[in-house]
Amino acid sequence: MTARLAVLGNPIAHSRSPEIHGLFGEQTGIDLRYDRILVPENQFAAVAREFFAAPEAVGINITVPCKADAWHLADEKSDNAETAGAVNTLLRRPDGTFAGHNTDGAGLVADLKDNLGWQLANQRILVLGAGGAVRGVLANLLAEQPAKLHIWNRTSARAEALVPIFGGKLEALTADRLENAYDVIINGTSASLTAQQMTLPPSIIGAESCCYDMVYGPEQTRFNTWCLAQAPCHIADGLGMLVEQAAAAFEIWFGVRPQTRSVLELLRKTL
C-alpha cells in the first residue's frame, strides 16, 4: 500500500515538502504519495480528518497558519510541541488518535550544528522575534546549553511573555540592552519578507558572528545583507532547517532517518 502524506496550510502552492519527502522516499525505499492541501479559513480540523479517513494516510505536515489548530487536534503532544503551542507534524496512531510533534527546533539545531558546523554550547545567542517560528525553536536551543540566550522583539511585551514559558532560562532585552558581537544571531522575524527597516544596533554583529535567517530564497536574504553591511560575518539562510525538520518528521512517521545533505544540495540548485 502506498503511504499517503500531505502538507496542509494556506498558502500552500509554494511548498517544497512534496519534493523533499519524495526524495526521502526514494532514498529509503518507501513507497509514498505526498500532496499539498489548501486549508480554507477555520477549516483545518475538518480537512485533516477528511485526509486521515483514508486507510493509507500516515501523517501530515502543517505550515502557517494552521500550527495552532494542529496543536488542538492532537490527542497527545511531544514536550516540544506542548511548550511551543504549535504542531507541525501529525502522526495517526494505530488506534486512530493523533500524536502531535514540533520538529522545527530539531531542524534548526541540526542545520546549525551538522550542516554549518556552528557551535551552540557555551555561546552567546541572540534570537530575533517572538512569534510562532521562534517559540518552536527555543527549547531546542536551550537544550544545547548556550552561555546566554537573549531574545528581542519589536514589541517587547511579546518577548517578555516567553520567558516564564521556558522556565526563565532566556532573557528578553530591549534594543538598548543588547550586547556586542553575539556568537550566534538567529532571525525569526519577517524582516526579510517585508520592506521594514532594521532598527537593531549594528554593534550586535562582529566579524566572527554567525548570522542565520530562517527565511530562504534564491537570493541573499534582506536580513543577511544587513548583517554583512555591519561586519564581515558568517551568514546562512533557512533552507537547511526546512530539510532537517522534514527529515525529523519522516523519522516520526516511518522510524527511519533519511540522509539530508544530498537533498539539501539538490534543492539549493533549484531555488
Spell out the alpha helix ranges (H) of 166-234: 222-230
Q: Where are the domains of the chain?
A: 3-102+242-269, 105-237
Q: Are 11 and 38 in contact (CB under 8 A)?
A: yes
Per run of 10 residues, the mean pLDDT along the chain (length 271 residues) is: 96 95 98 98 97 97 95 96 94 96 97 98 97 92 98 96 94 97 95 76 97 94 95 98 98 98 95 86
CA-CA distances (angstroms) from residue 12 to 6, 37, 38, 62, 230? 11, 7, 6, 10, 35
Domain 105-237 fold: Rossmann fold (3.40.50)
Q: How many alpha carbons fall within 13 Å on the CB side of residue 121?
A: 3
Collapsing DSSP states into helix, strand and coil, what is residue 207?
coil
Q: What is the pTM of this model?
A: 0.95
Domains 3-102+242-269 and 105-237 share a fold: yes
Q: CA-to-CA distance for 10 and 20, rounded, in angstroms? A: 19
Q: Is 67 a catalytic residue?
A: yes
Residue that is written with C-alpha cell 522545527 in the block: 104
- Would you give the end-to-end CA distance of the chain in angstroms? 32
Quote the pLDDT of residue 195: 65
Domain 3-102+242-269 class, CATH top level:
alpha beta
